[in-house]
Amino acid sequence: MDIAIEAEGIRKRYGDHEALRGVDLSVPAGTLLGLLGPNGAGKTTTVRVLATLLEADEGRASVAGYDVRTQPREVRRRIGLTGQYAALDERLTGRENLQLVGVLHRLGRRGAKARAEVLLDRLGLGQFADRTVKTYSGGTRRRLDLAASLIADPKVLFLDEPTTGLDPTSRLILWDMIREQLAGGVTVLMTTQYLEEADQLADRIAVIDGGRVIADGTSDELKAKVGGERLEVTVQDDAAIPAAVTALREVTAMEPVVEQPGRMVSVALCDQLKTVAEAASALDAAQVRPIGFAVRRPSLDDVFLALTGGTTSKEG
């Protein structure tokens, strides 16, 4: 399979602060790599290097087959970039913004005009086309920003926290647009703080922390790293906790974990169905009446917290 984005040992230093300490990435063509990490981990810096906005101090990177350092113009012809903040001209209308970007992309005046119409239509922006961007809602702005980055049919799309701060509906709309690009063969590198987003869209996920990729793989592979499924039993009052612990220990031969504030007792599962059934009857026999009884797979949040040592934060 073709590799559309490749980075090897990218380093970038700002004064005393080493933002990137040897980032390696490899994204096969037509797939989406989710770049996860806490604030300040180096996600945006990585995108800026790959999108030719920033020159790395060390390392080598190629995008769509061209070296970002020696052939930046060739790279720029083939990429689209949507930043954390929507980089649009507030005083121009949506249509004017798209046409401007199109002309600067060398589509020609007529070509830019035609392409702008297609994208306005496809991204459902028709009714906003003649209003200045200043009057747009956050979701509409992001959609227009995405449209601007699609104007020259990019082969590679960089999305830097594309849905941060959006309401759930706008987020779903944007997700669909991203999926559409993937279906069309576009390669996407997306940074996000939302693990659910990575889970939904990413073919592979790279977790970045302290300027380094500390784990990568598919969502399932990463979850498997953190451990298997757990049975979680919530009881009504503290007095029932010891009985629940004893019952679960007997059934699973594992040591249950008690979370006092939620009155939740959890234990790792090996043989799911059988253990769950046995646990249910053991609890019943011990006269424990659980108010919650659930099997939970580790979420990407668990992966994230386990890998980054809990430095996560959801602020923009």
Partner 1 sequence: MGTMELVSDVSALFGRHMRHLARIPEKLLSVTLMPVAYVIVFGVLFGSAISVPGSDYRSYLMAGIFTQMMLTNVGNTALGVAGDLGNGVVDRFRSLPMSRSAVLIGRTLSDVALAVIACVTMAIVGYLIGWRVHQGIPKAIAGFGILLLLGYAMSWLGALIGLLARSAEAVNSIAFMLVMPLTFLSNAFIPLNGLPGWLRLLCEWNPVSAVVAACRELFGNTSTGTGKSALPVQYPIPLSLALIALLLAIVVPAAVGAYRKAAAR
Nearer to partner 1, 165 or 242 (CB): 165
| Residue whose entry in the numeric block shows the structure tokens 């300490």 | 21
Rounded to whole angstroms, the Cα distance separating 293 from 33 reads 35
Least distance between partner 1 and beta carbon 273 (Å)? 52
Q: Is residue 240 exposed (0-12), middle (13-18) or buried (19+ Cβ within 10 Å)?
A: buried
Nearer to partner 1, 56 or 245 (CB): 56
Longest dimension (CA), the chain: 78
Q: Segment contacting partner 1 (CB under 8 A): 86-94, 163-171, 236-244, 249-257? A: 86-94
Rounded to whole angstroms, the Cα distance separating 120 from 126 reads 5
Nearer to partner 1, 97 or 312 (CB): 97
Q: Is the dihedral of CA 116, 161, 174, 26 positive or negative?
A: positive
Provide the CB-side half-sphere exposure for 41 (13 A, CA): 26
Rounded to whole angstroms, the Cα distance separating 162 from 87 reads 12
Reported as type and span, the H/E element at residue 148 is: helix 138-149
Q: Tokens representing 63?
A: 């995008």
Least distance between partner 1 and beta carbon 91 (Å)? 5
Which of the residues 5 through 64 are near partner 1 (CB under 8 A)?
51-55
| Phi, psi for 28 (deg, rounded to 5) | -65, 150
Nearer to partner 1, 41 or 148 (CB): 148
Nearer to partner 1, 50 or 177 (CB): 50
Tell me the site size for partner 1, rule CB under 8 A: 30
Least distance between partner 1 and beta carbon 40 (Å)? 15
Contact flag: residue 91 with partner 1 (CB under 8 A): yes
Which of the residues 103 through 132 are near partner 1 (CB under 8 A)?
103-106, 132
* One of 4, 41, 88, 146 touching partner 1 (CB under 8 A): 88
Which of the residues 144 through 203 are near partner 1 (CB under 8 A)?
148
Contact flag: residue 85 with partner 1 (CB under 8 A): yes
Rounded to whole angstroms, the Cα distance separating 148 from 100 reads 9
Give the binding site for partner 1 (CB under 8 A). Answer: 51-55, 73, 76-77, 79-81, 83-92, 96, 100-101, 103-106, 132, 148
